[in-house]
Amino acid sequence: MNGVGKTTTIGKLAQQYTQQGKKVILGAADTFRAAAADQLAVWGERTGVTVIRHEEGSDPAAVAFDSVKAAVARNADILILDTAGRLHTKVNLMEEMKKIHRVMGREIPQAPHETLLVLDATTGQNALVQARLFKEAIGITGIAITKLDGTAKGGMAVAIGAELGLPVRFVGIGEGIDDLRPFDPQMFVDALFENH
């Protein structure tokens, strides 16, 4: 879904993996949203990570293919692919996502190894419908919850994870580059109840 902090989450993940000494490549496969590749490029500069991109409106699967080829050629430890997050009038997003999965799987066995759905902590019931569709179409393996500050508690995102059997992998707690944390269930529960 767009506007939830998907690209920012990717940038923060790139920062974490780079700090762990891993070689990271980012792929700008969200070719529908005008600023997506530019936003990812800014994160690439910030984190010192290579970003593979094509022109706006190009085939996302082609970006995925080139990104995988670059990751293999450059012996990258991690490739993070930014993909479109909502339906578009010209293309069925789920079919596009399946195509990206096929392209990646042909080049790297069992790829993608992780498929995260990024959800805004303030999102309501419609997020469950979208999460269910994504899980059925492409086999999401986890959730990242963004915008989890003092006001947004993220209960819906956790409910989605529970109903669909998906672990919450990361939580975004602010705008800073280091404000993406591994999900800690106990800390989350404590925060939920601290203001009540």
pLDDT of residue 157: 72
pLDDT of residue 67: 98
Q: For the chain (length 196 residues), average pLDDT per consecutive 10? A: 79 96 97 88 96 93 97 97 73 85 93 91 77 86 82 70 88 84 81 63
Q: List the Cα angle 56/69/51 in 5-degree steps.
A: 45
Highest CATH level, class, for 1-113: alpha beta
| Contact yes or no for 50/44 (Cβ under 8 A) | yes
1-113 and 114-196, same CATH topology? yes
Reference 120, options 83, 89, 149; nearest CA is 149
Instruction: Indicate the pairing of strand 78-83 with strand 168-172.
Output: unpaired
| Contact yes or no for 143/14 (Cβ under 8 A) | no
pLDDT of residue 195: 54
Helix (H, G, I), strand (E, B) or coil at 171: strand
Q: Give 1's Cβ-side CA count (13 Å radius).
A: 23
- Looking at 20-139, list the stretches that DSSP marks H as alpha helix, in order from N- to C-terminal side: 36-47, 60-73, 93-107, 126-138
pLDDT of residue 136: 86
- 143 - beta bridge partners? 117, 168
Residue type, 91: V
- 27 - beta bridge partners? 52, 81
* Domain chopping of the chain, boundaries: 1-113, 114-196
Specify the CATH number for 114-196; select among 1.20.1530.20, 1.20.1600.10, 3.30.2270.10, 3.40.50.300. Answer: 3.40.50.300
The structure tokens listed for 189 are 């529960």
pLDDT of residue 194: 66
Q: Cα(123)–Cα(152) distance, rounded to whole angstroms? A: 9
pLDDT of residue 1: 47
Q: Give 115's Cβ-side CA count (13 Å radius).
A: 21
